[in-house]
């Protein structure tokens, strides 16, 4: 794909960042953990729609079931019933390394000197090509997939160390990039977060057991009580002896770098991070956007559903009434996550329907969460014009995205990022809006700076928290 697609009528590839995955882990004596894990995966469906899977252990054997598509498609009637045990992990996937293929569905089950190990991974290992060659040479590892998650799996299954925290710390010294992990051995569930804390992971109490998940909304659906977020570099081991936690000493020497897009877009609005509800934080972003880029308008609408909270905040701060002017067809799905271009194009055209009775003759502030390529936005503006909108003032709750992400978000190449190649005035002209305003980087960071602080804002600034290979691509392992 190239920049010429920006000007092709009807062309509408994904125009939002696409998350990597969601992970879940359950250790609950006396429960059918596979079924409960599937419940958690349903809550994390927004993080990936390519494939889903569950691995469970009854204290001896690890059983795995994976399938392509949505969680409801991957698990048919009785699938999770056949995976028994009170220890389980689960995964729902959007690929950032490796194609959308059944062989890449997770959890992955491998075996090494540390015994059988099932792995669910959210993130991206930027040195995976080199690590795969080292694993072949050192431990004669054989690879059946084209995903960096299999590299992680074999590395940990063979890592030196007398106990799992020590093996994970070996992995933290070796792997570069982003990773939140849930691991399953025959007798334990293990959770780990990379030393920078780029991808989220949280811990909850579940009756007599424990649960871990990418977001607190999954804990809510599993009826687990949220306890806390895992610290960067933390390893939590849950087994029949209880729960044990250790933190990698090297994490203290590094700055925290949680992906700021978790706050803007990825996390569900009912999830909590740093003690703050995402819905409330996004309302604050909308209010800041109104202060930075006011508009003389009659109504504020959001692009549903991801921008609704920010639109409410813009309306509250500006005093302009909020209205629902676009209806989203919820059965189309989140088209930006769908991996195949043809399905994305078809989905965007079917995704929104305006309400002329609400919009006709109105000057609109239209709030969106982000613009990546600038391909969907002109289509939405055109829909609103045809519905009778008199003016359209576009406001965006993310700063201009000028740099690709190599740490677990499939965003686009630099050549495809509209803000890396066009000025704001040129983007406004391309979208067809009467005015365009982005939230500033400073305004965003001032709002999201939580109790722990420290965010990765590389997609806006180019300041990556770790050195990256600028030529790294999603299919690097397949070519290797």
Residue 165 contacts residue 120 (beta carbons within 8 Å) = no
Q: Distance between CA atoms of 83 and 308, rounded to whole angstroms?
A: 39
Measured distance between the N- and C-terminal CA atoms of the chain, rounded to whole angstroms: 22
For residue 327, what are the contacts with CB-CB under 8 A and spacing of at least 6?
Answer: 304, 352, 353, 354, 355
Interhelix angle 441-448/278-292, rounded to 10 degrees, is 150
Per-residue HEC secondary structure of the chain comes to: CCHHHHHCCCCCCCCCCECCEEEEEEECCCCCHHHHHHHHHHHCHHHCCCEEEEEEECCCCEEEEEEECCHHHHCCCCCHHHCCCCEEEEEEECCCCCCCCHHHCCCEEEEECCEEEEEEEEEEECCHHHHHHHHHHHHCCCCCCCCHHHHHHHHHHHCCCCCHHHHHHHHHHHCCEEEEEEEEECCEEEEEECCCCCCCCEEEEECCEEEEECCHHHHHHCCCEEEEECCCCEEEEEECCEEEEEECHHHHHCCCCEECHHHHHHCCCCCEECCEEHHHHHHHHHHHHHHHCCCCCCEEEECCCCCHHHHHHHHHHHCCCECCCEEECCCCCCCCCCCCHHHHHHHHHHHEEECHHHHCCCEEEEEECCCCCCCHHHHHHHHHHHCCCCEEEEEECCCCCCCCCCCCCECCCHHHCHHHHCCHHHHHHHHCCCEEEECCHHHHHHHHCCCCCCEECHHHHCCCCCCCCCCCCCCHHHHC
Report residue 434 as tokens: 């009467």
Task: Taking each helix axis as running N to C, give the angle between helix 376-386 and helix 424-431, from 0 to 180 degrees, rounded to the nearest 10.
Answer: 50
CB 71: neighbour CB atoms within 10 A? 24
Q: Is 21 an annotated catalytic residue?
A: yes
> Catalytic positions, please?
21
């Amino acid at each position: 794909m190239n920049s010429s697609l920006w000007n092709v009528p009807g062309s509408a590839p994904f125009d939002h960042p696409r998350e990597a995955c969601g992970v879940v882990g359950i250790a609950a004596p006396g429960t059918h953990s596979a079924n409960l894990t599937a419940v958690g995966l349903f809550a994390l469906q927004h993080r990936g729609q390519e494939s889903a899977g569950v691995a469970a252990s009854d204290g001896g054997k690890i059983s795995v079931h994976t399938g392509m598509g949505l969680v409801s498609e991957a698990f048919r009637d009785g699938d999770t019933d056949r995976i028994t045990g009170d220890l389980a992990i689960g995964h729902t996937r959007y690929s950032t390394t490796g194609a959308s293929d059944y062989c890449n569905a997770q959890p992955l089950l491998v075996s090494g000197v540390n015994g059988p190990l099932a792995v669910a991974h959210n993130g991206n290992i930027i040195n995976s090509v080199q690590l795969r060659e080292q694993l072949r040479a050192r431990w004669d590892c054989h690879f059946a997939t084209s995903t960096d998650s299999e590299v992680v799996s074999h590395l940990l299954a063979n890592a030196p160390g007398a106990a799992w925290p020590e093996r994970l710390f070996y992995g933290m010294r070796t792997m570069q990039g982003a990773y939140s992990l849930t691991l399953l051995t025959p007798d334990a569930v293990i959770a780990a977060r990379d030393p920078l804390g780029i991808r989220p992971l949280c811990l909850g109490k579940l009756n007599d057991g424990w649960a871990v998940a990418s977001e607190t909304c999954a804990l809510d659906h599993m009826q687990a009580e949220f306890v806390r977020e895992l610290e960067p570099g933390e390893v939590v081991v849950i087994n029949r002896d209880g729960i044990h936690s250790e933190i990698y000493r090297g994490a203290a020497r590094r700055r925290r770098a949680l992906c700021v897009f978790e706050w803007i877009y990825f996390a569900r609005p009912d999830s909590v991070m740093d003690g703050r509800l995402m819905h409330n934080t996004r309302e604050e972003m909308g209010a800041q956007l109104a202060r930075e880029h006011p508009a003389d308008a009659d109504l504020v609408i959001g692009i549903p559903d991801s921008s609704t909270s920010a639109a409410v905040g813009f309306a509250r701060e500006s005093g302009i009434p909020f209205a629902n002017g676009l209806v989203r067809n919820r059965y189309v799905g989140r088209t930006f996550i769908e991996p195949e271009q043809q399905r994305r194009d078809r989905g965007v055209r079917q995704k929104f329907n305006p309400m002329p009775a609400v919009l006709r003759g109105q000057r609109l502030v239209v709030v969106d969460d982000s613009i990546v390529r600038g391909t969907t936005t002109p289509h939405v503006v055109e829909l609103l014009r045809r519905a009778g909108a008199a003016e359209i003032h576009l406001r965006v709750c993310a700063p201009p995205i000028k740099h690709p992400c190599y740490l677990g978000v499939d965003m686009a190449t630099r050549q495809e990022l509209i803000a890396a190649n066009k000025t704001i005035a040129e983007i406004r002209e391309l979208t067809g809006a009467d005015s365009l305003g982005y939230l500033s980087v400073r305004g965003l960071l001032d709002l999201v700076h939580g109790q722990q602080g420290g965010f990765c804002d590389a997609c806006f600034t180019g300041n990556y928290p770790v050195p990256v290979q600028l030529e790294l691509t999603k299919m690097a392992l397949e070519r290797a």
